[in-house]
Every structure is written in C-alpha cells, then in structure tokens.
Structure 1
Amino acid sequence: MANARIQVLLTGVVLAISIQSSWAFTEQGDQRREARDVRQETRQEARQVKQDCRIADEKSNQQCRQDKRHTKQDGREKARDIKY
C-alpha cells in the first residue's frame, strides 16, 4: 500500500515537471519565431530604405549602404530584446 502511494506520488511529480518544461520550451520557441519574424521584416525594410535612398539620389552609394546597415542593426537589437 505504501509502495503504491509512493509510486503515484512520483508519477505525479514526473508529470508535473514534464508539463512545466514543455511549456518553457514552447515559450522559447514562440520568442525565437517572433524574433525571426522581426529580423525578416527588418531585412525587407532595409532593402526598401536603400532602394529609396538610391532613387532619391540625395546621398552617395556608401551613405545608402550605411543607412541600410543601421536599419538592419536596429532590427537585430529588437529581435534580441524579444528573445532575451
């Protein structure tokens, strides 16, 4: 009788731990997906920034590249904030 109670208790503990850890993995997965989406959106935005810059012809190609780099870096920072 005591062995059965211990076995039921241990089974409950193992089940609770596995449910908690799977929830944590799901949350991390969601954060990674959200961060990846931010980075992908940033890439598109950076491309558009550079194209707009080149079309406007107000800056040199080097300055347009720097604008694109800054845009991408801002996106990376946002993604890091989401992930961590």
Structure 2
Amino acid sequence: MKKSVFMLLAATVLLTALPAQATKQAQERREARDMRQDTRQDSRDAKQECREGLVGNADCRQDHRDAKQEGRDKARDIKY
C-alpha cells in the first residue's frame, strides 16, 4: 500500500514539473529564434549599405557572414 502511494505521489510530482520545464525551454527557443531573425535582417541591411559604398563585394559578404555567426552565437547563449 505504501509503495503504491509513494509511486503515485512521485508520478504526480514528476508530471507537474515537466510542463514548467517545457514552457521554459519553449520560451528560450522563441527568444533564440527571434535573436537569429533580428540578426539576419540587420545583417541584410548592413550588407546592402556596404554594397552601396566603395567596399568590395567580397568584404561585404564576409561582414554579412560574421554578423550572422555572431547572431547564432548569441542565440546559442540564450538557449544553453
């Protein structure tokens, strides 16, 4: 009898803790996704401005890649 009560109690505690963790992870994923999307748009704008200037296209592409990688790194820091 005590064993079944203990198992029921343990299962209840486990089931109530899981949704809170899932919600936290979902929020972290949303924040990370938003960070990456914002970074992509900012990077596109910066690349366009760069191409309108006197800098070569290769340099603009590299700056664009670097900006996107920084955004990925920030998003990864949010998630982990």
What TM-score do the two structures reach when normalised by structure 2? 0.88
Q: Which runs of 5+ in 1 are unaligned?
A: none
Amino acid at match of 2:18: S
Q: What residue number does 1:66 align with?
A: 62
State percent identity of aligned pairs.
45
Matched, 1:75 2:74: no
Partner of residue 19 from structure 1, selected from 16, 21, 29 = 16
Aligned length in residues: 80
Moved over 6 A (4+): none
Matched, 1:38 2:28: no
Distance in structure 2 (CA, Å) of the matches to 1:69 and 1:58: 19
| 1:24-64 Cα shifts (integer Å, max 9, x gaps) | 11111111111000000011001001011112x22100001
Q: What residue number does 2:44 align with?
A: 47
Larger Rg: 1
What TM-score do the two structures reach when normalised by structure 1? 0.84
